[in-house]
Each structure stands twice: as C-alpha cells, then as structure tokens.
A and B are shown apart, each in its own frame.
Chain A
Amino acid sequence: MHTTQEPVLRVSGLSARIGDLTLVRDVSFEVHRGRTLAVVGESGSGKSITAAAVMGILPPQIRAEGAVRFDGAELLAEPAKRRRARGGAEIGYVFQEPMSALHPLLRIGTQMIRPLRHHLGLSRAQARDRAAELLEQVGLGRERKVLDAHVHELSGGMRQRVMIAMAISCGPRLLLADEPTTALDPTVQQQILRLLARLREELDLALVLISHDLGLVARYSDEVLVMYDGRVVEQGPTARILEQPEQPYTRALIDAAPRLGRRVDRLPTIDRAVLEQTRATAGGA
C-alpha cells in the first residue's frame, strides 16, 4: 500500500563534514507517508546530525553533501530562504529538550501563533483558535490556560506536547523527532510516543524517530536504521532487526540494555573487536 508510493523523504549518500572530519558518512534511507522510521544509535553515532541535515538546521560550520529529496525537490540544492520556508509548513521538528526549545520569556500562545500566521496567513484571532485546537489535539484540553502560560509553568510532558502541537501546526508532511522522550519520565515517554503514533495516523505523516533507546522505539516504528560512528550499520523492518540482526553491533546493542524479566548476573558489553569490525565494514566504506 504505502510503500508502493513515492516516499516523502528519500535520503541518499548523505554525508556531513566539519572541516576534514566526517561526522556522517553515506547515509541512505526512505520514509513513506503514514510510516515511522526509527534512527537508533549511541552518542556520536551521527543520528541527530542526520536529522538536522534533513531539516537544514545544521550549525554553519557543518557541511552536508549527498541528496535529500523531499516530495520530489532536492533540498540540499535549494537556496537557504526556500529551505527555511519549508520548515514548519512542510517539515516539522520536535526537539529533545522542550524546556530549552521553547522561548522562556514568551507565552506558549505567542510562540504557536507566529508560525500559523506566517505560513497559513491566519488572523491573530484565527491563529489563536487554531492553536487552542492543536493543544486539544495533543491532549492538553481546550482550555486557554496553556496558551497563556510560560514554558516553566508546564510539566515536562506538557512541554513536549506543546512542542509537538507547534511542530504539526502548519500541516507538515514529514515530522522529525530528535530524542523526543529522553528528558521525560518513563510513563510520560509512553504517552508521548503514543501521541506521535496517533498523530502519524491522523495526519498521514511520515515520521522519523531519533533515539538512543532501541527498546523504546521498537514498539512504535515500522523500520529501524542503526547507526554507529557516523555510518549506517544496519537497516530494515523493525521486527527483523530485533529478532535477527545481521550485524554483531546491532546484536550487542540490543543485549547491552537491561531488559525487564531478564535476570542476568552480568550485562553483555560491546567488545572492542565488534566496534572495530563495525567501523571497518559499516556503510560499505
């Protein structure tokens, strides 16, 4: 069904460099409407840089190369202004720390209204109504209280809901979520991931879920892409990756995480040989 269509996002041979240092090497993947791709890796794996390169919010000293096709357009070749204009309207981005990703001095309403007016040309009153609807859609109720609140007055879960409401506010077709639940309590993590899954269905979004936690995103993704040291180690359907990982690194990553019900004496760690072999063979380099 979905997979026969043209993908919303097709990344091929994406690399990111800072000077002579390669942070991301030759990453390729596709995301379709209504599907979720989980990009999994530890710190330094390049997963967040990959997402930022797609979004076009890399720090200026980092250069991206390769191809990022979004709805038939080549994003990396576009002028900065055109790329910027796609933000919010076509591609939404959910940041890891909603506390710092939302402006500390502006009311939630003010921050939500600006993109709505800019992209959709709504009046102030219309934008405010729309913002209230969006907050309801992400489970914050229709009350105007949240609109008038400042970010420090909200709980961690509420903040991330606001962040998500803002990211979907202008009707994007692609949503990139960079560690959207890392800063949250486990019970809230589940709620946020369920919310993202629900919105993906309702809005027919293509969703990219960046995470360091394979166990967390497993339940919520159709496909997984495992990264290490800036390269793709392995990618494929989530169930296949979890049950029959082809790469020893993937296997080791799965085993190293403590898992409920597995009463072992010691946790298997990832040994150096596996890491070296992964570095040598990953990404076809």
Chain B
Amino acid sequence: MDVVLDLDGVGKDFASGPFFARRRTAAVTEVSLRVHAGETVGLVGESGSGKSTLGRMAVGLLPPDRGRVTVQGQPLSSLTRKRMRPFRRRMQMVFQDSSNSLNPRMTLEDLLVEPFRAQGLHTRSDRRARAAALADEVGLARTGLSRLPHEFSGGQRQRISIARALALEPDLLVADEPVSALDVSVQAQILNLFKDIQQARGFAMLFVSHDMAVVEFVSDHVAVMRAGALVEVGTRDEVFDHPREPYTRTLLDAAPSL
C-alpha cells in the first residue's frame, strides 16, 4: 500500500514563561509514524499528550521544529507558500467543534461550494452540482442547502465539516476528536459515516481521540501517545488484545464499559 503520510522524527516546542527566562517545552518530542492509503490510524492519548499538535503538523497547519512531514512523497517543508496553496487540497482536517469553523452567515450550499471556489476549481454550475452530491454523500438532505449553520444540529454540523473536508478529494484526512462533543446516538452515526466514506474513497485517515472505544471501532492501526511521544504503535488487535505498555493498559482500564 502507498504511504500517504510519513512523519519522520517530528517534534514541536512551545515557549512558555516570562520574556527573558522563556523556557521551551516540547509538546511533541520526536514522533515517527506512517499512514497508508485506505487505512485509519487511531492516535489516542489524554489531554496535553501532544496528539492534537501532531495532527496539525500532519496537515501542515503547524510547521514542525524538528523532523520531516511528507505527504504523498512531498516534504511539506520544501513547499513554497505559493505551491502550498494548491497542495492543501490533498490534506484536510476535521475539528471537534465544527460550529466554530463554519461561517454563520453562509448557507449550506455556500459552505460546500467554498472549497472549490478557494481552489478556483470547476464552473459555477458544476460547483453547485458537486455541493449537492456532497450533501448526499454525508447524509444531509438537499432541502437544507439554503439553510444557515445554526439551523442544523451538532451532528449535522459535523456532517457539514466532513463534507467540506472531502470536497477536494484529499488523500489524507486528519480528524481531531470529531465525535467528542456529540451525543452517543449521533456519535454512532458520524463514526459509521467516517467508515463508509473512507471505504468508498480510500483516503488515509489519522483519527485523533481520547476515547479508547471509539479508536478501537474506527482504526486499523493504533498509536498511543503520552507526554509528546508515542509509547506504543501496532495493529488494532495487537494494541487492544495484547497491550505491551502499562500506560496502554491504564487507558484501557479507564475506558467506560458495560
């Protein structure tokens, strides 16, 4: 299988403390991880583990201080600002709180057309047709195309975010806690949607979450992150059936179960 995302010794520091005595703390120390086409890697960890920072670096939203991020064979650091723009369509991100990332004054159709417009793709009527098709794909009724974000429920807004991320047919999708803010019943629908769409489209997905059960459901491979480093990486069955690290076991014990 093709390697879509290749993180090679990637690290990121954050400055903290007063101006002169500024300390640099590593949010991510040095992480190497690969995600292949058609595969979902679950990145699991607690708050402050650096998993979101790593996710942002993977799609080039945050430049790493160390190491190299390569997407589809293209090292992101070697892209000029001008060449980065068209390249962005190949890697997309979905966030936890989708209501903040949707312009409240744009209708669903505007929101779905916007990615094409930003990249200067397709004709106007073609864009609208594609927007409607996207709405179908993520399970949003076409009758809602003229509605504004606040008229949708939290689950539907997350569907809109997913549709926007998928519009440009990315090779890589990074989802950062995309179901954490949702009710269990809605979470189930969105998780199913992620699975269906990935099977249909075959992109590589890095799925960031703190929820072990969610990660187990959605992932092919799992990476466990703690304090800026990966403590355990393996296939889903390896990590969940035979965790090697005590920390992974701690996370498994803490996960709610029935």
- Residues of chain A at the chain B interface (Cβ within 8 Å): 42-43, 156, 185-187, 189-190, 212-216, 218, 242, 252-254, 256-261, 263-270
Chain A contacts for B195, CB-based, 8 A: 265-266
Asked if B210 and A185 sit within 8 Å, CB to CB, the answer is yes
The total of chain B residues at the interface (CB under 8 A) is 31
Per a CB cutoff under 8 Å, which of B183, B191, B210 touches A258?
A: B191
- Residues of chain B at the chain A interface (Cβ within 8 Å): 46-47, 154, 183-189, 191-192, 195, 210-214, 216-217, 236, 240, 250-258
Per a CB cutoff under 8 Å, which of B192, B250, B258 touches A267?
A: B192
Asked if B255 and A186 sit within 8 Å, CB to CB, the answer is yes
Please judge, given known A-B contacts A185-B210, A190-B254, A267-B217, whether A260 and B240 are in contact too, CB under 8 Å.
Answer: yes
Asked if B240 and A43 sit within 8 Å, CB to CB, the answer is no
Please judge, given known A-B contacts A185-B47, A216-B256, A259-B257, whether A42 and B185 are in contact too, CB under 8 Å.
Answer: yes
A266 to B250, CA, bound (A): 26
Q: Which of A189, A216, A256, A267 gathers most chain B CB within 10 Å? A: A267
A179 to B95, CA, bound (A): 23
Please judge, given known A-B contacts A156-B47, A264-B217, A269-B185, whether A218 and B258 are in contact too, CB under 8 Å.
Answer: yes
Additional 13 contacts, C-beta under 8 A, given A186-B255, A187-B46, A258-B213: A156-B47, A189-B256, A213-B184, A215-B256, A242-B258, A256-B188, A258-B191, A258-B214, A259-B258, A260-B212, A268-B188, A269-B185, A269-B192
Chain A contacts for B191, CB-based, 8 A: 258, 267
Asked if B188 and A257 sit within 8 Å, CB to CB, the answer is yes
Per a CB cutoff under 8 Å, which of A218, A258, A266 touches B216?
A: A258
Nearest 5 interchain pairs by C-beta = A215-B256, A267-B188, A42-B183, A216-B256, A258-B213
Chain A contacts for B184, CB-based, 8 A: 42, 212-214, 253, 256-257
B154 to chain A: closest residue by CB: A43
Chain B contacts for A156, CB-based, 8 A: 47
Asked if B213 and A187 sit within 8 Å, CB to CB, the answer is no
